[in-house]
Structures are given as structure tokens and as C-alpha cells.
Structure 1
Amino acid sequence: MDSSRILLPLDALSTLAGLYFIYHLFWRHFSKQPARAPLAPGPLGWPVVGNAFRLPQVKHWLTYHRWSKTYGDVLRLTSYGETTIILGSARAASDLLDRRGIIYSDRPPSALAGEIVGWNHGLGYARFSPSASAPIAKPSATSPYPIYSDARFRALRKLFHNTIGPRASTRADLSAMQDRARGKLLRQLLDAGQLDANGTDFGDTIRQASGSLILLLTYGYEVADTGHDPLVQIVEDAMAGFSRASDPDAFWVDRWPILKYLPPWFPGATFHKAARRMRHDREQLYDVPFAYVREKLRQDEASPSIVSDFLSANKSSGEGSSAEEDLIKAAAADFLYASRKTPSSLLSFLLAMLLYPDVQRRAQAELDAVLGPPSSDGGCRLPAVSDRDNLPYLSALVKEVWRWNPSVPLGLAHRVTQDDIYRGFLIPEGATIYANIWAILHDEATYPSPSTFQPERFLDANGKLRPLSKTDDPGWVAFGFGRRICPGMFLAENSVFLYIASILYVYDISKARDVDGSEVEPEVEYTGFISHPMPFKCRLLPRTKEANELICRY
């Protein structure tokens, strides 16, 4: 092959990249000289690159928390001309993302997760921008929900509100689905625990059971009780890709979007290979369960679900378009993402019970006092969401699970759509904004001894739940702020309460043992953008013979 035919595109790409760099640098630094207010403080950066070489690669929230202690709860970072603001307190996050949400609810463009992998179809990367300067798509007769449009954002939010919003989450049919998923989880924990008397890693069991509820709700799909379920695997693969693609600074193409035009064979363009795999997994998640519902409807065998109701309604009305089907596919996948907090939270709960056995015993005593201990007469029952008002300590325990190690400690990024002044500092248009949820929930002024798992911090002197503002309540803060708050929070909160209460009612949770019979101390170590504890083993034993019978009955 003639080498000159290769060198030309390489030279052209190098020149293009260089011109883009110069344009980007000069436009960001010199086209808008903010003179009306100083910028927020932050660590000193280098010329041109800013803080790029100091930005953390893992556990960003911990580094940002440490910097916030030095520079304040409105922390500014720069990287190659891009500005990022880290909000390290509940007050700052609420002031901007809640009270000024009209200009803080957009998403920054995402070259990898959004454009290349395709998560921009869903709510996570949907744009929201009333500012005329924001380049977002406009609806039309042929495309009512274009990618990156306010119309798409609003339509997706409406779907969430109508299906798993605060009122919808109390529906009898949804409660029945939760009961079925809860019973399946308890039985699967029993089966898994019998595999090794010294201890079991229950991570896969919990993820399978958690996925079971949302798949039943969304697609009417019943996960197999035993063995490997192919649809659950599709969900796991796609969500792992979402987590990786959404990790800040994981891929250079997000900092330099022009890199997306590099051919896959170009040196350093290895992100293309990872993106192809992630896109394939995302498309499988969109298409395979949707096709399953279509086929079940054709056979007149479809169970009630969000997707089957949508398809049935559109079929009977003669409506339905590819744009609407794309929207429901994206919303259904978003439901699955919204459910990812549940397995992370349940594993955190198990870990906390191993480290704080007194908490476990107190919660079990409260359950027994309200429900009566499991008995052989068949008159006892598992806890219900409606018992929550009578279980203040257990309710406080669930809040502490949300707080102790939040599932999404940094959350997805916001973008401000116009210049804003806060506390005398300029937050420039286009800046990326993160609420450091982990730092907010570990604020020593609000939560003394924040590393300690301590449910009683939410109780008053009489043992009742203390009144909490939204910014002090982990049940709100852990799900984000403003218009970008997780729309699946009500379903997740009910499910986690139900699962935790039920596990405590029928099981004793204890540390795994080694070959010598000594207890194995678990390590508190979390990883991932969707943060979850590193694998650990524990033992789950039915509290009594009657508890074992109750598990099998459900």
C-alpha cells in the first residue's frame, strides 16, 4: 500500500485537531471575559490544561470533598478551558439546582455515553434548556420527540410520573408485584445460603431479584426462579456500560468531542472498541424485551405491564409511531437504570448489619413488637410498606442506608445555560455542575460521626422519626436535586424498605467464617460510578423454624 495515502489523512487529522485545540482555547478563555464577578475558588491549575492532570480517576467524590474543605462548598475546576463546579453542601446544591433549576437542569453534551453509545435517547442525557442560546432540537410533525429536546425531556418525565411517581407507586397492582418479587428474593437467599454454611456472596442473588421486579413491572417478564436468566444478563451488561460511560473523565473523547471523528485504527482511538460493545448492549436492552412484549401480545399472552399497556393502547387507537415507540423503549430502559440503586443499597444494608449487630437486633425487636415473632400457626405475615409508620427505628435504618454509602455518590452532571452569580461568584454559562451527594451526606455538621452507621441520628428523644427538611433527609438527597432528581425514587424507597424489613424479620445476618471457624471481618470498600460494595460473604440463617416456614410459604 502507498504510504502517502495513509499519511495524508493522518496529517489532515492532526491539523484539524490542532486547529480545534487553538479555537477551543481562545474561545473559552478570551471570547468571554467575565468582568462583573470573580470566579469561584479552586486548586491552582496550569496554563491551558488547568487542573486536568490533578483530576481523580476513581472515587471523584472523595477528592472533591477534600478540596471543598480547603476551597469551600462551591468549588471550581478547569480542564482545557472547560469549567466544572462541584457543590459540596446541601445548601449550595439546593440553592442552585432546586431554586434556580430553570437554568441548572440541562445536561452537558456527552460524546461517548450520549452520542456514540446512544444513551441520549433516554432521560439521563435528555436536554432541558429554556435558554435561547442553547442549541437543542425542536419538535416537528415528523419528529415530536427529537433527541436533545425539551419536548423529549418533558415526555419522559411524564411517563415516569404516571407509572412510578408518588401516587402510582401506591397502586394495588404494583404493590402485588413488589410482594411477589420480595417473596422470590427471600426464597433465593435461602437457597443461595445453603450452598456454603460458612458464608455466601449474595450479590448476584440480590441483583437478580431486584431486576425481577422492574422487569415484571416494565415488560411483564417473569424472571426464572433458578439458573441464569438471559434478559437479566442483558440488563446487567447494559447497565455496566452505562456506569462506565458516565464516569467523569473516563474517556478523553468527552473532553475533546472532535476525537469521535477519529477512525478506530487511529493510535489512541481505543474508545471506539469499548463504545461499540456498550452500544450493542444498549441496543439489546432497548430492542429484546420490547420485542418480547410484542410477541406476547401477538399470541394474546402478554401480562399487564408498562410496555404492553402502551402497545395495546396505541393498537386500539390506531396510533403509534416509530418516534413514540423509541420514546417508550428509552423510558423502559430508564426504569431499569432507576432500579440500580436497589441492589447497591441492599448490599450496603447487609454489610452494615455485619459491622453493627446491635442495630440488627434493635430493628428485629421492633419488628417482633409490631408484627409478632414468626410463629407456626400461620397467622403471622411479612412486613408491608403500610407498616412503616409503626416502625420508626426501621425507617431510620433505611434512611441511614441511603446516607452511609449513597448508590450514586456524584450523580449525573448538570449544565448551567446562562451566566449566573452565586455568593458573589460567577458561574459561567456552559459550566458543568455536580452535586457531591457523598459529601453532603457525610457533612459532620448535619451528621456527626458520618462514617458510623447510626440510625438513631434520625430519631427524637421519644424514639420517633424527627421531622427532616428535604436537604437533611437522605431519602431525598441520595436521589439528586431539582428537575433531575431520580424519578424512580418512590418505587426504590418502597422496595428497599420492604426488602430490608422482610430480611430482618426472617433472617439473622452474621459474618462469614473461615476454614478454622473464625469470623471473617468484611472490608468496607466501594467502587464504581454506580457505587456498590466490593464482593463480600456473609451468612443468612432463618431466625427460627417458623421463619423458615414463612419464607417457603411466600
Structure 2
Amino acid sequence: MHPVAQVLALALATYILGGLVLKVIASRKNGPLPPGPKPLFLVGNVVDLPKSHDWFTFEKWGKQYGDVVHVSALGQPIIVLNSHRACLDLLEKKSSIYSDRPRLPMGGDLIGWKNAMALCPYTDRFRSMRKYLGQITGPRNAKQFWELEEQETKRFLRIIYDDSLKSGSKGEMLPHRIRGLAGSIISIISYGYRPLSDNDPVIGLADKAIRQFSLATAPGAWLVDVLPAMKHIPAWFPFASFQRTAANHRETLESMVNIPYNTVKEQVATASGHHSFAHDLAQRNETDKSQDDGHIIKWTAASLYSGGADTTVSAIYSLFLAMTLYPEIQKKAQAQLDAVLIDRLPTLRDREEGSLPYIEALVKEILRWAPVGPTGIPHRLTQDDQYRGWHIPKGSLVISNIWGITHDETIYPDAAHFKPERFLDEEESSQPDPRPIVFGYGRRVCPGQYIAEQSLWIAAAMILSVFSISPVPGETPKFEYESGTVSHPKPFSCLTAARSSKAKALLESLEINSEVIYMPSSRDNHI
């Protein structure tokens, strides 16, 4: 063995064994750990950790061991929460010690996502970023984007309609079109930038970076996350292919963060450009040349952009899948739309007025049935804790199994089936709103949830008001989702067509132009 390899191997073995000894001593002193699969000597539950779709394994553990499960990987304690009650008790009520993020050597350190809100440690920097975002993403301020979201969704409808007229179309372009819709909305909000086309390079760059993030942060996907000392191994070393992967992903991330922000900075310097989140904050920062502030603004804008450019894509694609699989649900939604709307498209004002309760219930069911982040991003405990007589060690990674909670039959009977009726007030069996679950817990709740909800609602309402979505004859789509931190439906075929002559006339009246509605000025949105 190469001398360098010998030294590294010895260091790793010492690190693992020393950590395990300290943890065994601590556990005996502080009380029992929560139940879980029996660990192996030294390595713990490394062989038990799932390689993909971890939420299914976590759900199985929950049924076998209870709603709080403990596993370990080479000395790293991991706590899996499989109930809403446990998540509230720990991540909400004790948020002061459960709001940190794990130090993920792969996604955080080597690639650089630790600078974004998703993996940013719970520090003053994180609080500054959240404060900036809260000024435009809160429930009241998010209303300023209604017109923008409606305009971009109308463009999307026309594009989908044109696709449907092409011979042999089976919805192959649908994921691409949805990504263009979500990317356009969030890039205008973040940077005041309207993508040039569906193949816009900025949108493509964001798509690539976000997919890489999902892979790089998947629990158990990288050995270096379990053995942090490995991040110091040089790229030429055997078994260090992760270093080359990290370098490639880091280049993508830096381009996604810097290219649009540098453009905004140039616009501010020349008194040009349009109002946007990044533009207004960068303009204000011109009076204070603090390098740290500029860095925080850049990464906050990138966090807003990357978060909104992918999660809504999954939810809207799930809408098409649900309507393909459940035609009777589609008919119920369209019956209500037809009763309320008279020769017009729905607006977000209809939502505020509560005139389309079935659409509201349908959107909730999309979020429950196919949660975008099935396990969220792990929290990290910053000090020892006690819960139900169990010891939860400092440094534990705490994972909320959102999938398991939203598919818990004791809360959501017949959970595998798509049933918006479960959220209608007139139903005696009305079930809990899934939004406090699917958008995360405590001080790590998704800051852009209100913008995301608006985008999903107006997309669902407009799409169903004019389109009929159906399976391709002879083909039956499956309820299958990709693995990763953000999970998308696997590609499927479906047919989308104007559902009536009135719908066709509405669609053909929509114009695809380059006019953009930009966000209001800083005087209006209080940035």
C-alpha cells in the first residue's frame, strides 16, 4: 500500500474507533437510545441504510420500531421521525437546538451548497438570509406576484396547447415545459430576468445544479458524508472519484450563483435593469460596500432561485400524473370550474374569495400524495436532549420522514389513493391540512411556501379549466418517483387536449409575447 494510503487508512480507523468508544460511554451515562435496527460492531447500521428512496425504508422502520427510530453509521447517530407529533415536539417546540444543518462534506463543503440557505448552519448569516427572504415571501407580500404568476401560466397554457396539436405528441415535452414555467416565474422574481426560451441557458444551468444538489445531499449516498476526514483525500487517490464529481458539481453551482447576480450588479452600476429581489438588495447595498453583505445577498438570491425552480416542477408534474390516473377527480374539478367561471380563466382572486374549494382541496392532495421533498433535509441537534425517556445525542442528524407521515393510514385513510375530498370541510372525515408537514418544520420551514402554493394553485386551476388530460390508449402510467432530496415523477405518457370549443377559443386568444411584469419597486415591497 502507498505510504500516503497507509497514513490515511490509519487516521480513518482511529477516527472511527475513537468516536465509537466515546459514543458508547456517553450512551451508557445518559440513558437508552430510541429503538431501531440492531447495529453491527464498529460500523453500526451502514449496511441497513437505503441506497435510494430512503423514505420507504424509514416508513418500514417506523412500523417496526415506532415513530422515533435510531440508527448509526460509523458512529454518526441518525434519528428518523415518522410522526407529525414527534416532529412538532422536537423540530418545532425545541427549534432552538434542532435548527442546525448537518455538515455534509460532499454537498456542503466540497461542492459549496453550505453557502445556500438549504445547508447553511443555524448562524447569524442564516438569520440574515431568512430575514431578506421574509420581506417578499411572507403570506402578505407573496400576493404581489399574483399577476406575474397568472401571466406566466397563461404563456404555459398556450405552449402546451401548441404541443398538443403536433402529431404523435404523448406529453414528451411536458416536464421541459413545466420547468420553463417554474423557472420563468422564479427568475423574474429573483433577478428580473425573463428566460429567452424553453432552452434558455440560465434555466438549463439551474436545472443542472439543482439535480446535482438532489443527488449530492441524498442520505447515505456518499461515504465521505459518514467519514468527513475523507474530504481531504486528493482526487488522484484510489476510491476518490467523489472528489472529481464534486469539482464538476462545484463549477456548475458557482456558475448558477454568479452569472445572474453579476448581471444584476452590472445593471445596478449602470442604473439599468428591472426591479427584482437581487436588484433592489444590491442597489441598497451600494451605500454599504461590506463584502459580507454582498456575499449574503448573492447566495440568498441563489437560494430563492434554486428553491423555486425545481420544487414546483415536481408538484405540477404530479398534477398531470394524478389527473391521468384519476379521471373522475378531473371531472369533479372541472364541474366546479365550469359552475364558477363564465368564459374566462381563473385567477388567484378566486382563491382568495374561496369560490373554488375543490381546487383548493386538490392542491392539498397533490402535496400530500406526492410530497416534493419526501424526507426534507436533515436537521442537526446542537446539544444532548431527552425525549420520552430516550437519550438523543448531540450532533444527531434528525430526519423527518415526510412521505411516511403523509401516507400514515391512521391519519390519512386510503393514503395511496388520490382523494381531494379528504380535505373538504363538509366531509365528516375531513383530515389534517398537509401543508404544515410537507413544507418542513421549525425554523427550517420552506421560506417560499406561499409563492409555491400560489404557483401550484393557479397552474392547477387554469390547466383543468381548459384541458382534458388522459392516458395514451394502451398505456397505463405508474405511480413511480425518482430518488433524491427533491423527488420527481418518472417520465410518463399522457394526452392533453382542449376540452371544449370554448376552451379552444380561450387558448387561441392567448398570446406568447416578450412583455414581462416585473416585481414592484422596493418602495412597494418594503425591501
TM surpasses 0.5:
yes
2:121 aligned with 1:153:
no
Q: 1:411 aligns with which of 359, 376, 379?
A: 376
Please say if residues 406 and 438 of structure 1, whose CA atoms lie closer than 8 Å, have aligned partners that are also in contact: yes
Aligned to 1:355: 325
Q: Could you say what the CA RMSD is over the residues aligned between the two structures, in angstroms? A: 1.8
Aligned to 1:320: 289
Alpha-carbon displacement from aligned partner over 1:269-289 (angstroms, at most 9, x marks no partner): 110111011101110111001
Q: Secondary structure at the match of 2:55?
A: helix
Please say if residues 285 and 293 of structure 2, whose CA atoms lie closer than 8 Å, have aligned partners that are also in contact: no
Tell me how far apart the structure 2 counterparts of residues 7 and 366 of structure 1 sit (CA, whole Å): 71
Aligned to 1:73: 67
Please say if residues 526 and 534 of structure 1, whose CA atoms lie closer than 8 Å, have aligned partners that are also in contact: yes
- Residues 298 and 88 (structure 1), Cα distance of their counterparts in 2 relative to 1, 3 Å cut: same
1:393-432 equivalence runs, <5 A = 393-432=358-397
Tell me how far apart the structure 2 counterparts of residues 526 and 385 of structure 1 sit (CA, whole Å): 33
Please say if residues 371 and 383 of structure 1, whose CA atoms lie closer than 8 Å, have aligned partners that are also in contact: no
Tell me how far apart the structure 1 counterparts of residues 162 and 23 of structure 2 sit (CA, whole Å): 59
Aligned to 2:100: 106
Q: Secondary structure at the match of 1:125?
A: coil
Q: CA offset at residue 198 of structure 1? A: 4.7
Aligned to 1:493: 453
Aligned to 2:513: none
Tell me how far apart the structure 2 counterparts of residues 273 and 474 of structure 1 sit (CA, whole Å): 40
Aligned to 1:142: none
Aligned to 1:133: none
- Residues 369 and 82 (structure 1), Cα distance of their counterparts in 2 relative to 1, 3 Å cut: same
2:16 aligned with 1:21:
yes
Aligned to 1:536: 492
Aligned to 2:476: 521
Please say if residues 385 and 498 of structure 1, whose CA atoms lie closer than 8 Å, have aligned partners that are also in contact: no
Aligned to 2:411: 446
Please say if residues 481 and 490 of structure 2, whose CA atoms lie closer than 8 Å, have aligned partners that are also in contact: yes
Q: CA offset at residue 189 of structure 1? A: 1.2
Aligned to 1:337: 306
Q: CA offset at residue 10 of structure 1? A: 2.8
Q: How many residues align?
A: 506
2:353 aligned with 1:384:
no
Residue identity in the other structure for 2:56: L
Provide the identity percentage.
36
Please say if residues 184 and 195 of structure 2, whose CA atoms lie closer than 8 Å, have aligned partners that are also in contact: yes
Please say if residues 122 and 330 of structure 1, whose CA atoms lie closer than 8 Å, have aligned partners that are also in contact: yes
Q: Which runs of 5+ in 1 are unaligned?
A: 1-5, 129-149, 375-379, 513-517
Q: CA offset at residue 413 of structure 1? A: 0.4
1:168-317 equivalence runs, <5 A = 168-171=141-144, 174-201=145-172, 202-224=174-196, 226-315=197-286
Which 4+ residue blocks in structure 1 deviate beyond 6 angstroms?
none
1:7-46 equivalence runs, <5 A = 7-30=2-25, 32-46=26-40
Tell me how far apart the structure 1 counterparts of residues 474 and 346 of structure 2 sit (CA, whole Å): 30
Q: CA offset at residue 320 of structure 1? A: 3.3
Alpha-carbon displacement from aligned partner over 1:447-496 (angstroms, at most 9, x marks no partner): 10000000001113369x95x7xxx3212211111111111111101110
Q: Secondary structure at the match of 1:541?
A: strand
Tell me how far apart the structure 2 counterparts of residues 116 and 442 of structure 1 sit (CA, whole Å): 35
Tell me how far apart the structure 1 counterparts of residues 374 and 233 of structure 2 sit (CA, whole Å): 33
Q: 1:346 aligns with which of 307, 316, 337?
A: 316
2:140 aligned with 1:167:
yes
Alpha-carbon displacement from aligned partner over 1:103-123 (angstroms, at most 9, x marks no partner): 111112111111111111111
Aligned to 1:377: none
Q: 2:336 aligns with which of 366, 371, 389?
A: 366
Residue identity in the other structure for 1:22: L
Q: CA offset at residue 229 of structure 1? A: 0.6
Q: CA offset at residue 197 of structure 1? A: 4.0
Please say if residues 197 and 539 of structure 1, whose CA atoms lie closer than 8 Å, have aligned partners that are also in contact: no
Tell me how far apart the structure 1 counterparts of residues 439 and 213 of structure 2 sit (CA, whole Å): 17
Alpha-carbon displacement from aligned partner over 1:31-71 (angstroms, at most 9, x marks no partner): x2443432110011211111111111001010110111010
Q: CA offset at residue 300 of structure 1? A: 4.1
Tell me how far apart the structure 2 counterparts of residues 50 and 21 of structure 1 sit (CA, whole Å): 11
- Residues 545 and 320 (structure 1), Cα distance of their counterparts in 2 relative to 1, 3 Å cut: farther
Q: CA offset at residue 383 of structure 1? A: 3.0
Please say if residues 29 and 81 of structure 1, whose CA atoms lie closer than 8 Å, have aligned partners that are also in contact: no
Please say if residues 345 and 465 of structure 2, whose CA atoms lie closer than 8 Å, have aligned partners that are also in contact: no
Tell me how far apart the structure 2 counterparts of residues 168 and 63 of structure 1 sit (CA, whole Å): 39
Tell me how far apart the structure 1 counterparts of residues 167 and 404 of structure 2 sit (CA, whole Å): 38
Please say if residues 176 and 198 of structure 2, whose CA atoms lie closer than 8 Å, have aligned partners that are also in contact: no
Q: CA offset at residue 338 of structure 1? A: 2.3
Tell me how far apart the structure 2 counterparts of residues 402 and 165 of structure 1 sit (CA, whole Å): 19
Q: CA offset at residue 403 of structure 1? A: 0.4
Tell me how far apart the structure 1 counterparts of residues 14 and 269 of structure 2 sit (CA, whole Å): 55
